[in-house]
Structure 1
Amino acid sequence: MRKGVVEYCVLGLLAREPMYGWQLAEALTAAGLIASIGTLYPLLGRLRDNGWVSTFDQPSDAGPVRRYYRLTDAGIDRLALFRAQWQPFARTVSGLVGEERP
C-alpha cells in the first residue's frame, strides 16, 4: 500500500523545499514509508524520468557536493492532481474498511 503513495509523499516534501536524498530518506524512514535509503534512489530516478523533479548540485559545508531535488512545473501539477483525488479516495476506503458492526 505504501508503494502507491510514496512517490506522492516525496513530491509533497519537495513542494515545501528542495531537499537532498539523505533528507528525503530520513523523513520517509521516520514516517515508516521506506525501509532504507537504497529504496529511495530508484524512485527519485523515476520521478526525474517522468519530468516531475529536477536536480541541482550544491556545495556542502559538511562534506561533498549534495544533489538536491526540486519539483518541476509538471511535478507541481501532478501533486495537485493527487491532492484533489486523495481525500475522496481516503474517505471511501475508510468507509469500507472502518470498524466492523456487531
Structure 2
Amino acid sequence: MKIENAKVQMRKGILEYCILHIISRGEVYASEILDELIEAKMMVVEGTLYPLLTRLKNAGLLEYKWVESVSGPPRKYYILTDAGTDSLKALEGTWQGLSASVKTITSKKN
C-alpha cells in the first residue's frame, strides 16, 4: 500500500462532512470553503470541490443563491437545506463514534 494513496483516501472520506460543517455556519462562497479546507491541510483543489458541491446540491443537501458583487461577476453562496442539516447531524454522530474507536485503538501501548 502506498502511504500517499492511503492519506488521500482518508481525507476524501471526511471531505463531505467537513464541507457540510463549513456551510452550516452560514452562507458561504466556494472560494471561502476552499480556503478553509486548504488552511486545515485537507489538500483540496477546485477540481475536487466544485463537483462535490454540485453532487451535494443535486442530493438536496444544499442550495445556493447568486449575490451581485461590486468587484466582479455575481457570486454563488451556498446554504444548507433542512436535509443537509439532518445529514450533517448523522455524519457528526458517525464521526464521533469513529473518532472514539480510532482513539481507543491508537492509544494502546505495546
TM-score, length basis structure 2:
0.85
Alpha-carbon contact 1:34-1:40 (below 8 Å) kept: no
Per the alignment, residue 13 of structure 1 pairs with 22
1:80, distance to aligned residue in structure 2 (A): 0.8
Find the counterpart in structure 1 of residue 44 from structure 2. 35
Deviation at 1:34, TM superposition (A): 3.0
Instruction: Describe the superposition over 1:43-85 as per-residue Cα deviations: whole angstroms up to 9, x where unpaired.
Output: 1011111110111100112211001111000000000111122
- Identical counterparts, % of pairs: 38
- Where does 1:1-102 land on structure 2 (aligned, <5 Å)? 1-98=10-107, 100-101=109-110
Give the unaligned 5+ runs of structure 2: 1-9
What is the rounded CA distance, in whole Å, between the counterparts of 1:26 and 1:77 in structure 2? 25
Tell me, in whole angstroms, the C-alpha distance in 2 between the residues paired with 1:24 and 1:35: 10
Deviating more after overlay: 41-50 vs 28-37: 28-37
SS in 2 for 1:33: coil
Q: Distance in 2 between matches of 1:41 and 1:76?
A: 20
Secondary structure of 1:69's match? strand
TM-score (norm 1): 0.91
Residue 99 of structure 1 and its aligned partner are, at CA, apart by: 5.5
Q: Structure 1: which 5+ residue stretches go unaligned?
A: none
